[in-house]
Amino acid sequence: MAKPQGLPSQADDFSGWYNDVVYRADLVDLGPVRGAFVIKPYGYALWENIQRELDAMFKATGHENLYFPMLIPMSFFQREADHVEGFAPELAVVTHAGGKELEEPLAIRPTSETIIGELYSKWVQSYRDLPLLYNQWCNVMRWELRTRPFLRTTEFLWQEGHTAHANAREALDETRRMLEVYAEFAEEFGALPVIKGEKTDGERFAGALQTLTIEAMMRDGKALQSGTSHYMGENFARAFNISFNDVDNQQAYAHTTSWGFSTRFIGALIMGHGDDKGLIMPPRLAPVQVVVLPIYRANDEEAKGRVMAAVATLRAELVAKDVRVKVDDREGLSPGRKFVEWELKGVPLRVEIGPKDLEQGVGTLADRLSGEKRAVPLGELATRVPAELEAFHAALFERATAFRAQRIYHAETYAELKELVELGFVYATHCGDPESEKAIQEETKATVRCIPLDGPSAEGTVCVHTGRPSGYARKVIFAKAY
């Protein structure tokens, strides 16, 4: 099937392809405020599936959900200097309410470390109160100047975990554990391979001592930060007096963490898997895993009756197997138009059932990834579909992994780095100097995405940019990014 009419190809205009596909696949619409988008039912169903599966993983690791207010007194931000400096340009501030000017302006949360720190200081009095392992699902607001659906928006949905621990070791273990949860989710549910790593000083979250990240490669070779986990040390605990009596009855400050995963991951799925026909949904998260298309002549009521009866039976069998199935029985649309629409929406499997199929006792099963069609006995379809979805997930993950492997390079010189970052991810040695990072970014538009937790050694090497000794045990990854 040809690509949808008017949809740019990825090779010619990847940015235009992305912008077109998010609207034409019915994921979003424009809101009345600049940079704020409406997430439509198909897009929100995808987010609900992400939320449900990720939330179960959080609870399996001992975390509980709660909710904090979205309005935060501005004075809270002043207590942690690095944090307020990092977020000040992005804050949206309420100065009037109820027809009057407020005595103290209120920020709409850009993230909740400050208000959570205030409450944790009340909840933590003894080492027996620790650890606090809490998470909230909410919206946040960051006043972005340049916006794009899912990737960078004024308001977005996310989860933010905030934990408090008795010592650094426990907090560092938590920071790494949640990074592993994000990586497992991205690969096991999103079929998206990721690189786990640590951010450099220049890329670290405001107020954190360590930021860990998962980085995914998009189909144009650029990187997308897809989830982060931060170790705050005692920074926020000291600012908000999260102190307690330790096991030796001495006053101590808690060590805190925070970690977040947002609707930005939808953008990662779109750009990490899509093709010139549109989306390709990972089946474990897809709002619709199977679409069933009844095919018959408009004026043939007898054939329509037989086809719809078979479709109803198949639908019931699939629902019984917990398959998310949609029957597209809209009148007045040709099968070809429906094919293109559901391919654009990225539904993993399509089943076509018409009078000729019934005569042969089969349904035609189409695979969105390979494009293959095959006849499957009607009595076996519902039984076959779960295995087909699992095979689809495996093939999608393998495809993304192979693509990434083809676009990972190694630079031995700065000249090579400048050339190769136009193509994909580049391993290179770096001294760790933030000014060097800044100079490389200004010249190449590429940043250090992370210092991989597992990767090529940089022992005994020198920086490709400054010639000074490598500042890290491993080579870093440079890439252009969203």
Q: How far is CA 59 from CA 55, 63, 67, 281, in A?
A: 6, 5, 15, 25
Structural contact between residues 278 and 25, judged by C-beta atoms closer than 8 angstroms: yes
pLDDT in tens, 249-263: 999 999 999 999 999
d(CA 45, CA 28): 12
In 290-421 the beta strands, taken as DSSP E runs, fall at 290-294, 325-327, 349-353, 362-367, 373-377, 408-410
4: left (phi over 0), alpha (psi -120 to 50) or beta: beta
**pLDDT tens-digit map of 208-228:** 999 999 999 999 999 999 999
**Pair 462, 432: CB distance under 8 Å:** no
Q: Are 450 and 199 in contact (CB under 8 A)?
A: yes
Q: What sign does the CA torsion over 65, 70, 73, 78 have? A: positive
- The fraction of the chain above a pLDDT of 90, given in percent, is 94
- The per-residue pLDDT for range 148-159, each reduced to its tens digit, is 999 999 999 999
pLDDT for residue 389 is more than 90: yes
Question: Please, are residues 110 and 76 in contact by the beta-carbon 8 Å criterion?
Answer: no
140-161: b (≥16 Cβ within 10 Å) or e:
bbbbbeeebbbbbbbbbbbbbb
Cis geometry, peptide bond prior to residue 4 (ω within 30 degrees of 0): no
Query: What sign has the CA pseudo-torsion 112, 117, 122, 124?
Result: positive
pLDDT average, residue stretch 372-380: 96
Question: For the segment 394-426, what is each residue's pLDDT rounded down to a tens digit?
Answer: 999 999 999 999 999 999 999 999 999 999 999
Give the residue with greater pLDDT, 206 vs 42. 42
pLDDT at 78: 85
Does pLDDT of 84 surpass 70? no
* Confidence band of 380 (pLDDT split at 50, 70, 90): very high
* Strand 325-327, strand 290-294: pairing: parallel
pLDDT of residue 89: 84
Q: How much is the CA Rg of the chain, to the nearest whole Å?
A: 25
What pLDDT is recorded for position 82?
A: 72
| pLDDT (mean) for 465-471 | 97
Domains in the chain, CATH or no CATH each:
14-273 (3.30.930.10), 290-389 (3.40.50.800), 410-479 (3.30.110.30)
pLDDT value of residue 108: 97
Mean pLDDT of 424-453: 98
- pLDDT, residue 312, reads 98
Select from 270, 289, 269, 275 the least CA-distant residue to 388. Answer: 289
Residue 3 pLDDT > 70: no
Residue 81 has pLDDT above 80, yes or no: no
How far from the centroid of its chain's Cα atoms is residue 417's Cα?
Answer: 27
In angstroms, the CA 185 to CA 237 distance is: 30
| pLDDT at 5 > cutoff 90 | no
The tens digit of pLDDT for each residue in 268-325 reads 999 999 999 999 999 999 999 999 999 999 889 999 999 999 999 999 999 999 999 9
Mean model confidence pLDDT for the chain = 96
Q: Give 439-448 pLDDT, tens digit per residue.
A: 999 999 999 9
- Sorting pLDDT into bands at 50, 70 and 90, what band is 121? very high
Those residues with Cβ within 8 angstroms of residue 476's Cβ, 6 or more apart along the chain or in another chain: 200, 427, 428, 429, 430, 448, 449, 450, 451, 452, 458
pLDDT category of residue 2 using cuts at 50, 70 and 90:
low
Asked whether the beta carbons of 262 and 158 are under 8 A apart, the reply is yes
* C-beta of residue 253 within 8 angstroms of C-beta of residue 242: yes
pLDDT band at residue 1 using 50, 70 and 90 as cut-offs: very low
